[in-house]
Amino acid sequence: MMKKHRVVPLCALLGLLFAGLIPSLDAQEDCAQGLPADVYFLVDSSWSIGHENFEYVRQFLYSVVKALHQGGGTLFKFALVQYSGSPKTEFQLSTYPSLRGVLGHIEAMTYRGGGTRTGLGLDFLIRAHLNAGSGSRAGEGVAQVVVVLTDGRSQDDVAEPSQVLRLAGVKVFAVGVQDAVDWELREMASLPQDAHVFSVDSFPALREIIQDLVVGLCGEVTQAGSAPVAMEARQLAGGGTESADLVLLIDGSENVGAANFPRVRDLALRIVEGRDTIRVAVVLYSVGPEIQFYLNSYETKAAILDAVKGLSFTGGDEANLGAALEEVAESLFSQSAGGRAEEGVPQALLVISAGPSTDNTGAGDRALKQASVITFGVAVGGETTTGLETVATDKSFVLSAPDFRTVAGMGNQLLPYINGVAQGTIIVQNEFTEALDVGKRDIIFLLDSTMGATIINSIREFIKRFVDMMPIGPTQVQVGVAQFSNAARLEIDLNSYGSKDDFSAALGKIKPRPGQTVNIGAALDFVRTNMLRQDKGSRIQEGVPQLVLLMTSKKSSDSVDQPAEALQRMGVLTLAAGSKAADEQELKKIAFSEDLVYMLKDFRMLLRNPKLLVSPLSTLTGVVVTEGPTEIVEEVTTVQTQRVVRDIVFLVDGSRYIGTNLQYVREFITNMVNRLDVRPDRVRIGLMQFAENPRIEFYLNTHNTKEEVLNALAQLRLTGGSVLNTGAAMDYARSNMFQPSAGSRKRQGVQQVLVLVTGGPAQDQVKQIADNLALAGILTFTVSSGQANEAILKTVAFVPDLAFHRQSFSELPSVTEQIMTPLITVVGDTDVTETEIVEETVTGGERDVAFLIDGSDNVRADFAYIKDFIIKVIQPLDIGIDKVRVSVVQHSERPTPSFYLNTYQTKDEVIRAVNGLALAGGRSLNTGSALTFMKDTILSQRYGSRAAENVPQFMIVLTGGKSRDNVKDPAGALKTDGVVPFGVGVKDADPKQIAAISHNPSFAFNVKEFSELDSVQQKLNTFVSLPKDELLVVLQEVDTSGKKRDIVFVIDGSEDSRNGLPAIREFIRRMVHNLDIDEDDVRIAVVQYSDDATTYFKLNTHKTKKAIVYAVRSLRNKGGRPRNTGAALQFVRDNVFTAKSGSRHLEGVPQILFLLTGGVSRDSVDKAASEMKDLGVYSFAIGMKNAAAGELQRIASSTRFLFNLPAFGELLSIQADILAFIKSKMEIEPPTIVDNNKRDIVFLLDGSDDSRKSFPDIQDFVQRVVEKLDVDEKRDRVSIVQYSDTAETSFNFNSFSTKDEVLDAATPMKPPTIVEQSSAIKDVVFLLDGSDGTGNGFPAMTDFVQRVVEKLNVGVNRDRVSVVQYGRDQEVHFYLNTYTTKEEVLDAVRGLRHRGGRPLNTGAALQYVRDNVFTASSGSRGVEGVPQMLILLNGGKSFDSVDTPASALKEQGVLVFAVGTKGSDSREMRKMSYDPTYSLSVSEFTDLPNVQEQLLSAMTTVVAQRIPMTPTVLGKKRSPF
C-alpha cells in the first residue's frame, strides 16, 4: 500500500526539468501526500566558500525551499542555521508563518566566513532547534529532515552528532561541493547512503541536483508518514517479511562452565527457532572472541540450528566482553560478513553473560552504539546485570536469570524483543524535553576532568539537556562550568552567556583534560574565590540561591573539610555526585546535606534518568549568608611542596613488561611531581621512555609549571616491544637530556638526577653506562617491579640504597614516601670547578634550519600543534648566530616569511617569535612555488644562509594538504644545491608529494593528525643534531628496507569451502588494511580456484587500498568440484606473477603467495610448487579444516610459512605473525639464470611487411639454432613470437617438449597478415544503468563514455556509436546510424540526463538492445562482418534474470564488456560478459578512468581477432595462447 501511494508524486517530480527555473509541482499531486514536515538547513559559510560562491548557495536554498513549498504548502516548515567556526541561527521553524518571510530572509542572508566545524553545527542544530520550544513537531509524529551543505572536510568530529540524529529518527541529506569528503558525507547521511548523499564539483552545479533532492526529501516524508500505518498492518497480519541481523555473543568462560553450557545453547536454539527471516551469527568469548559462524555462513534456519547444536564449550579463566564487543562491531556486522545495515535491515546483538567482564567494555560499546546496533542482554546471576545494563541500548533490554536452570526458558521473554527489532517497533529515539518553570538561581557544575572523553561527553550532554529545560538569562537561571584535576580551570562564568544557544555552543568546546589525581578541596576553593563573585555574575548579594554540583569519579588527594565548610558558611547549596572510585563519606562532607549525595555506577545513567539531578537543581532553595568570598588565591593546589633545586629526568620503561601497569608508574611519577616545586628556577622535569630504542617525551625546559608537566604525563602512551636496551637509553639520556640546550643547569652546579623506572630485565650492558653517568655527576635512582633484576639495578643506582624494588606494580606509588628524602638531600660527586665541566657539543654543530609550514585556512584549528612542533624540534639545538640559525616561512597560495635565518640570535628570541606566530591564511597550497622561494630567497647569503661556508642546510616542510602545483622539480633543484629537505605530511597531504620533497624516503614522514607530530619530532631531532661526518654517511644511504611487495592471495572457492569464505574475506581485508597499498609500494591480486582458477583481480588492477577492500568485500564463492590446487598454482605462476599482470619480479620486488585451502587437492601440487620456489616466490601455505599437512609442506617455502588450522575462523589468530614477516626486510635480487643445463629461449621475429622477402632466412636461422639445442621439458624450452604493430605468439614454452615438434612447428611458419587498426571498424553500443541508485555516479558515466568515444574513429563507414539508458525500462538516446561524426556523438552524450527508476531490470535491457539496436535498421553492420560491441556500465544487481538475454547476445556474436561497481553482482557481470576477462570492476563510477585503457586494449584485441583475414598455418600443434 505504501509503495503504491508513493508512485504518483515521484513520477510527477521525475518529470520536472530544472534549468534555472523553480520546478513547478502539480497542485493536485503534492509531493508528500498531504503530510507535514519540519525541514532544517545547516549551511557551511566558511572562508573556503567565498562571497561569489555563497550567492549560489543562497540561490540553491531559495529554489529548494520554494519547490518544497509548492509540493507541501504550509504543512512544510523551515529552519536555517549557518555554521563556520561557530553556528548561528538564521531563523527557526516558528519564526516565519509564511513562505515570503523565509524567502526574504534567505535573500538578505549575509555571508559569515570562518572555519569548518560541521560537528559543532550538527550539535547546535540538535540542541537549539530539534525541540518543541523552537517549533519542532517531532512529538506530534511530524517527519524531521535535515539538509547539510558543506564544501570541505570538517575540522571536528561529525560521527557523534550524526549518530544522535540517526537514533532520534531524523533523516539527513548530505550535500557536498568541491572539496567535501565523501566518507564524511556518508557518515552524516541517512541510509541508504546513495539516496541521501549528493556531490557536485562546483557551486554553479548545485542547481543540477535540486530536483533529485526535492524528490528524495518528499519520498522520506511520505515514507515517514506511512510507516506507522504499514507497521500496524503487519502486526494485524501476524508477521510478514520483516528481517534483522542478529549476533549472539555467548559467554564461553568458566563463569558458565561445561555443565551449564548446554542450557545456554538451548536458549540460543529457542531464539533461532522463533524467527524464519532473521540472519544469525554466533560468537563465543572468554579470553578472546571466537567466531563460530557469520551472518552469511548459512542460508536456512535448519542449517543454523545444526550449527548452534554443534557449539561446544571453549572454557577460559577470563571473560573479556570488551574485546568481544569490539570484534563484533568490527567484523560481524560488515557487509562482507553478511550484514545488511546499508539495506536498512536492523542490526541487533544479544549478549548472554554469566559474570562481570574482566576488561573494559567502553570502546566496543561505543562502536556498537555508533553503528546503531540495538543491544540486549541476558544476565545469569546478580553480579552480571549491572555490567550488561551499561552495554545494553536500554536498561529495560536486560533480562536477569537467577540461575542456569531458568535460562533456557527465557526464550519466550526474548522473542518479543527480537520480533520488535525485525518489525521496526523497537527503535532508539532521543527525547526533547519542554522547558521547566524555574525560579532564579545560579548553578555551577564542577567537573572532574580526569573521567575520560566518554564520561565527560555524557555529562556535557546532560548539562545541555538541563540548560534546554531552564529559562536561561541574566534575570532568570545562570549556569557556570569549571573542570579540575590536580588544579581547577574555569570553563564558563555565570555571566558569560545570556542565551541557551550561546551557552550550548560554548559547552560544546569543553574537552576532558587528562590527569591521575584530583584535588577536590582546591577545586571547591577555586569556585568560592573565583566564580561566586559579583563581577563573575553571582547574585549571592541579592539572595539568589547559589548551587554547586560536584561530579567526580575519584577520591580527593587533598583535604575537603575546610573548603566545604567555607562554602556552607556562605549558604551555598552544594550537591555531590560520585561514581567508581569516589569516596561516599568524603562526598557527604562536601554536600550541604547528606540527602544531596548521589552515588552512581556510571554517569551515563543520567542520560536515561536525568530527573535524579534535574529535580534538586531546579527546586532547591536555601538561606543565603551574605558572607563575601575570600581573596583570590593564586595557588589552588594544596599539596605540600619541597623547596629544592634539581634537574630531574624520568626514564620510563615503555615495553610490554610495563603494559597495563602504566597507571601505577604514572601515579608514582605524579605523586613525586606534586611534592616538588616545579618552575624554571627550582625543579625542572624531563621525561623519556625506552624499549628497544629511546624516545624523548619532553625536555627539562619544555614545561615551566607543574600543571603542564602533569598534563603531559597524563598523555604518556607506551611504545611497546619486548626488547629492553636499558644501557643505551641511559646513555642517550646523558647525551641528549643533560645538556644546556635541553634545559640542564649543570654548569650552574644544579644537581642532575635520573630516575629509572622499569619492569623488565636489561638486555644490554648497563654497569659501564651507569658508571659514566656517575662520573658526569648524574645521580641515578632506580624504581622497579615485575621481571626487573633487582641485583643488577642496585649496581645501576648511584649507591645501592637508591634502588627501590617492589614485588607488585601496585606498590610503586607508595615508593614516593621513601624516595623523596634522598631525592632532595643526596648529592653526587659534583665538586668540580666550572672550567672542568666539558659540555658535550656536536662537532661542527653549525647548521641552518628553515621551516616551510602550511599557513592556509585548512590548518587554522591545528596551528598551535604546528608551533609546538617547531619549538620541540629546535629545543635541543644550540641556537646562536655562529651556531644554529633558524627561519620560519608560512605558505598557502604564496609564501610569507615570518623571520629569516639572520633575524634572531638566541633561542629565547626564536621561541618567542614562534609562540607569537599568527596564521597567514589562504585557501589553497602552492608548495612548489614556495620551495623555489625558499631556494632563491630564504637559503641565500643575503638572508643568513651559510651554504657558501659549507654549513649544512636543512629544510623542514610541513603541510596539511595537497599542493596544487608541481613539487618534484623545485624539490630536485633544492637537493641539487645541497639542501637536505624533510617532508612532513598531515591529514590531507599527498604522501607522494611528501616523498618527492624529501631527500630520500627515510626523510619523509606522514601522520594522520597534527596531534601525532610528536612522533616525527623525535626522528627529526636525531637527523638535525648529527655531527657533519655522520650526517654525510646518512645522506649517502638509501632506504634499503623497502616497502615494495607483490602479494597474491589464492583462495579455495570449491563447494567444500563455501562456509569459510567470510573468514577468508575478513583475513584479506585486515591484511590489506595494515599494508601500504600503492602502485609503487604494495600490490595485491586475488585468484579463486576449484576445478579451475579465475583471476578476480590482478596486481595492476587496483591502485588504492579502498578499491581493493571494496573488491574483496564483493568476493563471492566460485563453487565447483573437485579442488585442483596444483593447476591453480601453475595458473598463478604463468598468468599472475608476470609483468603483464603487474608483477615486479624483474625489478627485485619480493613476490609473496598466500594459498588458503580447506581440503586435499585432487591433482599433484609438486611440479607447480617447485616452479614457484624456482621463481623465488615466498609461498605461504595456510590449510584449514580438511587440508593435508604433507601437501601444505610441499607448497610452503619453509616450515615457518606453513599453518594448518582446525577451522576457517582461526585465520585471524595468525595474522599478526604473517604481517610482521611481510613488513620485515626481505633480501631478494633480480633473477639471473646461472644454470647452463636449463634455458628458456624466445625467438622474437620481425613479421612486418618489410621483412616478408627475408623471412625464409629468418626461418632458416631459427631452425639451425634449434638444431643445436637440447630441447626437452626439463632442459631447453623454445617459444616463438612474431611482431609488427602488434605481437602474436606462434607457440609457448610448454607447447612442445621435443626438438622434432619445435622444428615441425617452425618450418611452415609464415609472417602474419597484419590488419591496420584504422581499418578495424566496429559498432559500439553503450548501455548505461540509469536507475535510482546511480544518480550521483551518472556524470562520471557520461564522462567515461566521452573518453572512450574520443578514442574511436567515428564515421558512417568507420566506427558507429549508440547509447541506451535503462532502469525499470529502457530508452534509446540515439542509434548506431543517428550521428555520423564524433562531434555529434560527443554533444549528444554531454546532453544526457539521469532517468531514474526502479527496480533495475538488466536482463530486459540486454534483450531490448539485441532486438532493437543491434539490427540493420538501427545501423548495425553485423551481417557485414563488422564487430558488434556492447559496453555495459552497471551499478547494482539485476531484479530480473540476465542468463537468457546474455546467451542470446553471445550467440549473435556481440562482444559484451561489463563494467560494474561495488554494488554490482560480480557473478552476474561475468555471465553477461562475452568472456570472463571482459568483466571489469571499479569501486565507484568516479574510478572508471582506471579501467579505460584496459577496456580499449581489449576492444582493439578482439577487433584484430575477428577481422576476416587470410588464415596462416603455424604448425601441427599450437597453443591457444
**pLDDT tens digits along 3-34:** 333 323 333 332 333 334 344 433 324 565 67
Distances (CA, A) of 371 to 162, 346, 427, 837, 1264: 11, 10, 13, 62, 72
Whole-angstrom distance, CA of residue 351 vs CA of residue 365: 12
Does the pLDDT of residue 1176 top 50, yes or no? yes
List the grid coordinates of 975. 637537493
DSSP assigned state of 453? H
Chain segment 1178-1231, per-residue pLDDT in tens: 999 998 878 888 888 889 888 778 888 877 777 877 877 787 778 765 644 433
Whole-angstrom distance, CA of residue 1193 vs CA of residue 1042: 28
Work out the angle between the directed axes of helices 210-237 and 2-14 (0-180°, nearest 10).
170
Alpha helices in 584-725 (DSSP H): 584-590, 611-619, 662-674, 706-714
- In the chain, % of residues over pLDDT 70: 87
Whole-angstrom distance, CA of residue 299 vs CA of residue 279: 8
Work out the angle between the directed axes of helices 1492-1506 and 1338-1350 (0-180°, nearest 10).
50
Chain segment 916-957, per-residue pLDDT in tens: 898 988 888 999 999 999 999 999 988 999 988 888 889 999
Q: How confident is the model at residue 516 (pLDDT cuts 50, 70, 90)?
A: confident
Find the mean pLDDT for residues 898-913. Answer: 90
Chain segment 1427-1464, per-residue pLDDT in tens: 999 999 999 999 999 898 998 898 888 999 999 988 88
Q: 897 has which bridge partners?
A: 889
Who contacts 1227 (Cβ-Cβ below 8 Å, separation ≥6)?
Answer: none
In this prediction, residue 13 carries a pLDDT of 31
Distances (CA, A) of 1263 to 600, 1042, 1243, 1302: 93, 45, 11, 9
Distances (CA, A) of 1013 to 3, 685, 701, 867, 1016: 54, 21, 19, 11, 5
C-alpha 244 chain-centroid distance: 27
C-alpha 790 chain-centroid distance: 44
- What's the N-to-C CA distance of the chain in angstroms? 58
In this prediction, residue 32 carries a pLDDT of 59
Find the mean pLDDT for residues 1239-1267. Answer: 81
Amino acid letter, residue 1005: F
Q: Is residue 681 within 8 Å of 647, Cβ to Cβ?
A: no
Find the mean pLDDT for residues 622-640. Answer: 40
Find the mean pLDDT for residues 1034-1055. Answer: 72
Does the pLDDT of residue 1374 top 90, yes or no? yes
Does the pLDDT of residue 144 top 60, yes or no? yes
Does the pLDDT of residue 316 top 80, yes or no? yes
Who contacts 501 (Cβ-Cβ below 8 Å, separation ≥6)?
Answer: 89, 124, 128
Q: Is residue 1054 within 8 Å of 1120, Cβ to Cβ?
A: yes
Identify which of 463, 671, 688, 446 has the alpha carbon closest to the alpha carbon of residue 574: 446
In this prediction, residue 1017 carries a pLDDT of 77
Of residues 662 and 1207, more confidence is placed in 662
Who contacts 1304 (Cβ-Cβ below 8 Å, separation ≥6)?
Answer: 1515, 1516, 1517
Whole-angstrom distance, CA of residue 25 vs CA of residue 40: 21
Who contacts 1327 (Cβ-Cβ below 8 Å, separation ≥6)?
Answer: 1364, 1365, 1366, 1405, 1406, 1409, 1430, 1431, 1432, 1433
DSSP codes joined into one string, 807-864: SSGGGGGGHHHHHHHHHHH---S----GGG------TT--EEEEEEEE-SGGGGGGHH
Whole-angstrom distance, CA of residue 1283 vs CA of residue 601: 79
Identify which of 461, 479, 567 has the alpha carbon closest to the alpha carbon of residue 523: 567
Find the mean pLDDT for residues 349-358. Answer: 90
In this prediction, residue 1004 carries a pLDDT of 87
Residue environment code for 1185-1200, b if the CB has 16+ CB neighbours within 10 A, otherwise e: bebbeebbbbbbbeee
Who contacts 1076 (Cβ-Cβ below 8 Å, separation ≥6)?
Answer: 1043, 1082
In this prediction, residue 616 carries a pLDDT of 82
Identify which of 902, 888, 899 has the alpha carbon closest to the alpha carbon of residue 958: 888
Strands, E, within 571-635: which ranges?
Answer: 573-579, 597-600
Chain segment 548-605, per-residue pLDDT in tens: 999 999 999 999 999 999 898 888 899 999 988 899 999 999 998 888 899 887 787 6
Residue environment code for 1127-1160, b if the CB has 16+ CB neighbours within 10 A, otherwise e: bbbbbbbbebbeeebbbbbeeebbbbbbbbbbbb
Of residues 1111 and 783, more confidence is placed in 783
Give the Cα-Cα-Cα angle 939, 943, 944 (nearest 5 degrees).
80
Find the mean pLDDT for residues 243-252. Answer: 91
In this prediction, residue 821 carries a pLDDT of 79
Find the mean pLDDT for residues 1321-1349. Answer: 91
User: What torsion do the CA atoms of 518, 521, 523, 526 make, to the nearest 10 degrees?
Assistant: -150
Find the mean pLDDT for residues 766-775. Answer: 87
- Top mean-pLDDT range of 24-33, 766-775, 1242-1251: 766-775
Who contacts 1080 (Cβ-Cβ below 8 Å, separation ≥6)?
Answer: 992, 1044
Does the pLDDT of residue 1515 top 80, yes or no? no
The burial of 429, by beta-carbon neighbours within 10 Å (0-12 exposed, 13-18 middle, 19 or more buried), is given as: exposed
Does the pLDDT of residue 523 top 90, yes or no? yes
Of residues 407 and 608, more confidence is placed in 407
The answer to whether the pTM exceeds 0.85 is no
The burial of 241, by beta-carbon neighbours within 10 Å (0-12 exposed, 13-18 middle, 19 or more buried), is given as: exposed
Peptide bond into 192 cis (omega under 30): yes
Whole-angstrom distance, CA of residue 431 vs CA of residue 429: 7
Region label for 545, one of left (φ > 0), alpha (ψ between -120 and 50) or beta (otherwise): beta
The burial of 916, by beta-carbon neighbours within 10 Å (0-12 exposed, 13-18 middle, 19 or more buried), is given as: exposed
Does the pLDDT of residue 903 top 70, yes or no? yes
Q: How confident is the model at residue 433 (pLDDT cuts 50, 70, 90)?
A: very low
Distances (CA, A) of 666 to 143, 516, 650, 676, 1267: 51, 8, 11, 16, 80
Q: Is residue 203 within 8 Å of 53, Cβ to Cβ?
A: yes
In this prediction, residue 1309 carries a pLDDT of 55
DSSP codes joined into one string, 643-682: ---EEEEEEEE-STTTGGGHHHHHHHHHHHHHTB-BSTTS
Q: 698 has which bridge partners?
A: 687
Whole-angstrom distance, CA of residue 421 vs CA of residue 393: 12
In this prediction, residue 1471 carries a pLDDT of 86
In this prediction, residue 1012 carries a pLDDT of 81
Of residues 831 and 297, more confidence is placed in 297
Q: How confident is the model at residue 1032 (pLDDT cuts 50, 70, 90)?
A: low
Mean pLDDT for the chain overall? 82
Sign of the C-alpha dihedral, residues 23, 24, 25, 31? Answer: positive
Q: Is residue 646 within 8 Å of 750, Cβ to Cβ?
A: yes
